[in-house]
Amino acid sequence: MPAELTLHQRRRDPTPAELAGIPWVAVLLPEERERAIPQIKVGDALPGDYVCRVGRPVTYWFGVIEGLLKMSNDNEQGQSITFSGLPPGGWFGEGTVLKRETYRYNVQALRKSVVAGLPADTFHWLLDHSIGFNRFVMNQLNERLGQFIAAREIDRMSNPDLRVARSLAALFNAVLFPGVGEVLRITQQELAYLVGLSRQRVNEALATLQEQGIIQVEYGGLRVLDMQALRTAMPAPRIKLAGQPLKVSAAV
């Protein structure tokens, strides 16, 4: 697949497996599926590809089938502010699509990802005709509000261990990111991008969480042992931990 092509130019029809990874399709009635499914397109995003850019008009409602995206913006000083990581199952930008505004944020692929898009006109048709779709979008908006309130709280935290813990817990939001399931693939560098810390500092924070028995660092991965404790973790002495790519999974 030529890298010179834009993500939009690389769009294609979804495979059956990719359709199965779109959570809101399951809430549609048969006639609603007949209208919506032929309109869904997917694109194979390369690392660094922009899915949305500040100031661009909205054309699609987007979701992540595979991979990891970052939603961010730049402040007046030119510093990047990350709003959210977007793992598999996450659909985003419904507020922008509802108002048909231009994007006020950038969404960029941190690694090779598969991104799905539903045209804005089809999105609005479903809002007009599907009770199940309306409930899905309403739940998204409600959960998204809570997510951004929590993100503001994380931004004000001076303790790096807490920032890592809260940010990691946010990636396991079952409503916003139902495709994560038990396993989330993420590297220390990717987590550092999302948290706004160095990879070294993220490594140390993960070691602290392991010392508290909240997570378990395994070969090539990380297992969450206590999700509630991860959301309410308190500072503790740090130990040094060497690590490379992480494979984050929630304990069953």
For 37: left if phi > 0, alpha if psi spans -120 to 50, otherwise beta; the answer is alpha
* Tokens at 159, concatenated: 């303790």
Helical packing angle, 131-155 and 120-129, nearest 10°: 120
Q: Please give the pLDDT value at position 154.
A: 61
Measured CA angle at 225 (ends 219, 227), to 5 deg: 130
On whether the CB atoms of residues 206 and 167 are closer than 8 A, the answer is: no
Q: Please give the pLDDT value at position 239.
A: 42
Closest-CA residue to 250 (of 220, 216, 212): 216
Distance CA 54, CA 74 (A): 10
Q: Please give the pLDDT value at position 242.
A: 46
SS (H, E, C) 178-207: CCCCCEEEEEHHHHHHHHCCCHHHHHHHHH
Q: Please give the pLDDT value at position 183.
A: 61
DSSP-derived secondary structure for 90-111: -EE-HHHHHHT-B-SSEEEESS
Q: Please give the pLDDT value at position 156.
A: 62
Q: Please give the pLDDT value at position 225.
A: 81
Q: Please give the pLDDT value at position 17.
A: 95
From first to last of the 252 residues of the chain, give the pLDDT tens digit: 555 778 888 899 999 999 999 999 999 999 999 999 999 999 999 999 999 999 999 999 999 999 999 999 876 666 677 888 999 999 999 999 999 999 999 999 999 999 999 999 999 999 999 999 999 999 999 888 877 666 666 666 668 888 888 888 888 888 899 887 666 678 888 889 888 889 999 999 988 888 888 887 766 567 778 888 888 765 544 444 444 545 544 443
On whether the CB atoms of residues 85 and 138 are closer than 8 A, the answer is: no
12 has which bridge partners? 42
- Which domains occur in the chain, in start order? 16-154 (2.60.120.10), 159-250 (1.10.10.10)
Strands 183-187 and 69-74, bridge-based pairing? unpaired
Q: Could you tell me how many helices (H) and strands (E) the chain has, helices first?
A: 9, 12
Q: Mapping DSSP to helix (H, G, I), strand (E, B) and coil, where does residue 146 land?
A: helix
Closest-CA residue to 170 (of 39, 42, 71, 61): 71
